[in-house]
Amino acid sequence: MKRFLIFLPLCVAIVIGLAGWWGLNPDRDPNSIPSALIGQPVPDFDLPAIEGIGGLGLSTQDFGDGSGPILVNVFASWCVPCRAEHAVLTRMVREDNLALVGINYKDKPEAATAWLTELGNPYDRIGSDETGRAGVEWGISGVPETFVVDANGIIVFRFVGPITSDAALATLRKALAQAGADKS
């Protein structure tokens, strides 16, 4: 028993050390929630286009046509980080030749139209989700959020928050590359 007790301080130190190593890891975000939708097909939803902007709405049928990964961005004109993210997404669409669709979350059509007129519209399609119901189907907790849907219509990646940092952009690019590689 006494011989065993000699190792007790060491064991305690190891436990505290491991807890600190896990808890103080800068890559660990205690607020992140695992998404239930990763690996699942795109949920059932059908959204009309934003009134006034024209263009096409967004629904489940727009995914899984086998043409390549699609980036789904949930945004709103009242969301300040979305404004910063908008420039990044616009550049990505231009440089990476990317399919980008939008879900306009809990926004007034006039406000969304004004926002897109001011900043430009990089989206191929935008679904207007005025009630936030489609947002619930996608399991979002706020805006902005971004999903990667692969060519088969399976959600493979989710990013909560604006894609403005280099690290965020790198993880998104990696997810897109992986989703594209799965197709071939």
Partner 1 sequence: MIRLFIILIFMATSAAAVEPDEILSDPALEFRARDISANLRCVVCQNEPIDTSNSGVARDLRLLVRERLVAGDTDEQVYDYMVSRYGDYVLFNPPWKSTTYALWLAPFVIALLGGFCVIMVFRRSNVGPEGVATLTADEEDIFADVTKRNTDGTTL
Residue carrying structure tokens 């280099």: 166
HSE-CB for 11 with a 13 A CA cutoff: 5
Our CB check for partner 1 shows the closer of 47 and 53 to be 47
Our CB check for partner 1 shows the closer of 63 and 99 to be 63
List the beta bridge partners of residue 155. 149
Among candidate residues 118, 114, 81, 116, the one with its CA nearest the CA of residue 102: 116
Q: Point out which residues bind partner 1 (CB under 8 A).
A: 1, 31, 33-37, 43, 106, 131-133, 135-142
Provide, rounded to whole angstroms, the least separation between the CB of residue 130 and partner 1. Answer: 12
Provide, rounded to whole angstroms, the least separation between the CB of residue 1 and partner 1. Answer: 8
HSE-CB for 136 with a 13 A CA cutoff: 4
Provide, rounded to whole angstroms, the least separation between the CB of residue 77 and partner 1. Answer: 15
Provide, rounded to whole angstroms, the least separation between the CB of residue 29 and partner 1. Answer: 12
Our CB check for partner 1 shows the closer of 44 and 95 to be 44
HSE-CB for 121 with a 13 A CA cutoff: 20
Q: Is 121 exposed, middle or buried (0-12, 13-18, 19+ CB in 10 A)?
A: middle
Provide, rounded to whole angstroms, the least separation between the CB of residue 5 and partner 1. Answer: 10
Phi-psi region for residue 121, left (φ > 0), alpha (ψ -120 to 50) or beta? beta
Cα 77 to Cα 45, 85, 92, 114, 125: the distances in Å are 21, 12, 20, 9, 16
Our CB check for partner 1 shows the closer of 23 and 34 to be 34
Our CB check for partner 1 shows the closer of 122 and 135 to be 135
